Amino acid sequence: MTVKKNTRSLESGIETDFRDKMSYGSYLALDELLSAQHPVSVPEHHDEMLFIIQHQTSELWLKLVLHELRTVRLSLQQDDLRMAMKCIARIKHIQRSLTEQWSVLATLTPTEYAQFRGDLGASSGFQSYQYRAVEFLLGNKNAGMIKVFRGDPEAQELLSSVLAETSIYDEFIRLLARRGFPVPAELLDRDVTKAHVFSQDLVEIYRIVYENTEDYWDLYEACEELVDLEDNFQLWRFRHMKTVLRTIGMKTGTGGSSGVGFLQRALELTFFPELFAVRTEIGQPQVDPK
């Protein structure tokens, strides 16, 4: 009987000497990245590494989401719906990864977390400035959130900048106006540091788009992409809330929030309310105001 070797030899062309070349590790700064986990529990609790990596990984994905959202906004400003939708398609995949990550953290039992939770002090995911920037870019503006970052001037500067800029929804609405739709002036000239307020006039515009898809297919497709974006975000919020409930029950958050109750209220927030409201209107007979 011939025994096959359970090994694979290196091909002759494979690079092995990186003393004077850029390697995988140097390109990705792995020395820095993999040494950025600093548990604070004493003695170090086994599960704190999971807790740190879960949140660091989320922050890396959020950095990419911000990168993509900025291009979405710019593309909408330039009437380039194709590029905007390409970036949103990528964001949707990132959102799926972010949501699935909660199942990893959910393996942390209440007993295990309680053994090092006190060592975290007042640090909390509530203080993620990248998450707030994502919310701002999607349209959930809240200037009051910026004061949380008074101890981090760079984060505060970023959020103040994003707060003063248009959201991707603002830019989509402006694109609709450039396409000739009767967008109310108050939506085009509004204070963009505030959260978007529901507009029935915008619902009527979306009704036209949805009931005449052959004429407005690209806009119709864009509307559905935005709905996907919000659906995915809400699913992420829900999984966050359920993971927190599973891990700490109804305890207050380490950052001082009410915990699960605070996260539940976030589920009531919406980025693109008219895109959901129009679903009630589609197919309904129009009433002649005369």
Annotated binding residues, written as ranges, equal 51-55, 113, 117, 240, 254
Structure tokens given for 61? 């994905």
Please state the residue numbers annotated as binding site for substrate. Answer: 51-55, 113, 117, 254
Please state the residue numbers annotated as binding site for heme. Answer: 240
CA atoms within 13 A on the CB side of 88: 29
CB atoms within 10 A of CB 6: 5
**Measured between alpha carbons, how far is residue 73 from residues 19, 29, 50, 81, 258 in Å?**
42, 30, 34, 10, 34
Residue type at 55? H
CB atoms within 10 A of CB 247: 19
Cβ–Cβ under 8 Å, residues 141 and 195: yes
CB atoms within 10 A of CB 258: 13
